[in-house]
Every structure is written in structure tokens, then in C-alpha cells.
Amino acid sequence: MDIRKVHNLLLDEVDVGIHVIDRRGRTIIYNKK
């Protein structure tokens, strides 16, 4: 999945998963499933 799409999903539904910024500045999503 495109990281920008993931980040947009994060902005829309923050409580869907825990987001972490990795060392390269990318947003990583850990789903709560």
C-alpha cells in the first residue's frame, strides 16, 4: 500500500491503529486486528 494512502487513513481514523515514525521518517501502521 502506498505510504501516503496509509497516512491519509491514519489522519481519518487515528484509533484504527498505532502509528510509529521509523528512522527514515516514514509512518508505519500497526493495525489492532
State residue 21's pLDDT score: 72
Residues whose CB falls within 8 Å of the CB of residue 31, separated by 6 or more in sequence, listed in order: 16, 17
Q: What is the mean pLDDT of each run of 10 residues along the chain (33 residues)?
A: 64 61 74 61
Residues whose CB falls within 8 Å of the CB of residue 7, separated by 6 or more in sequence, listed in order: 27
State residue 24's pLDDT score: 82
Burial label, 30 (beta-carbon count in 10 A; 0-12, 13-18, 19+): exposed
Instruction: For residue 19, give the amino acid letter.
Output: H
- In angstroms, how far is CA 16 from the centroid of its own chain? 9
